[in-house]
Structure 1
Amino acid sequence: MTTGDFDLHHAGDEPHLIREIMRTHQAVLNVFSRRVGMPAARLALMRLLGTCRSEAVGVMWIARQLGIDAAAVTRQVQAMEREGLVERCKDARDGRRSHVKLTDDGLRAFLQVHERAHAFERALGADVSAEDMAAAARVLVRLRAALEALP
């Protein structure tokens, strides 16, 4: 059966890689948030700030590093600031800009959550061998590079 120019039937032997990546991505995000106690997006921001240690970094730099827009970073930073996890300071050269860094409480929270994230990853090893996990990671890195190279 076709609809317009699209064939809705498959031969049955296609790997449906993109569909499986998307389904797995959604499952990982859901389970990760429950098991780790923090959404993956928040952990990514905290990890980035944690690697900068006490150095304050700009919102635009964070956005570029995480591959998300600055407005999303600003919303996350505002929420984390209310929770006492980050502090902002004005840019000495441009008062319209601010820099962000983890507070001591933020660093402690990051270290706790970071360990839970590693425990989550280790728990996956109960069902998937280390070799398969490494192979999957290699394939995903190559796929991401191929996607980023597309015009």
Structure 2
Amino acid sequence: MTYMRDDSLEDGQYYLYLFNNNYGVSTTRSDYDWTQIEGIETKLATEGDTEIDSVSYFYQYLVDENEGTYSLVQSFEIPYSGIVSSVQRVDDYIITDSGMQGVLGIYDAQGNLLKQYKSMLNKKYIYRIYYYDFDGFYFNI
């Protein structure tokens, strides 16, 4: 989950965004029946797994600490990854990593897929993807 400030919001308001894996499992609550939650997946998926028909999601919430509320303001589907995944907002883009599938997605600010890349190097998964522009990293201009 990532905290995001926005100068257009009132004091006490901010955004939180996250990669919702949509994966239901708990080693500490083995008695809980995750299948009672509609649409939740209870299995991991790897490349070529044809038994899994689930998706994960990008979620962005508006939090209002003044009112003690939060609301989902944006969501869209991402290729399913039960674990090892990430999401990052960079300028007007949303970068996603569906790690179990080895898929990097680049979306516009509205959640429309612009580009998608598949890793062919790793047989298992991509743990996280981070975007850095390196402005001012080597030289102070």
| TM-score (ref. length: structure 2) | 0.21
Question: Higher relative contact order at CA 8 Å, sep ≥6: structure 1 or structure 2?
Answer: 1
| TM-score (ref. length: structure 1) | 0.20
Q: Which of the pair has more CA radius of gyration?
A: 1
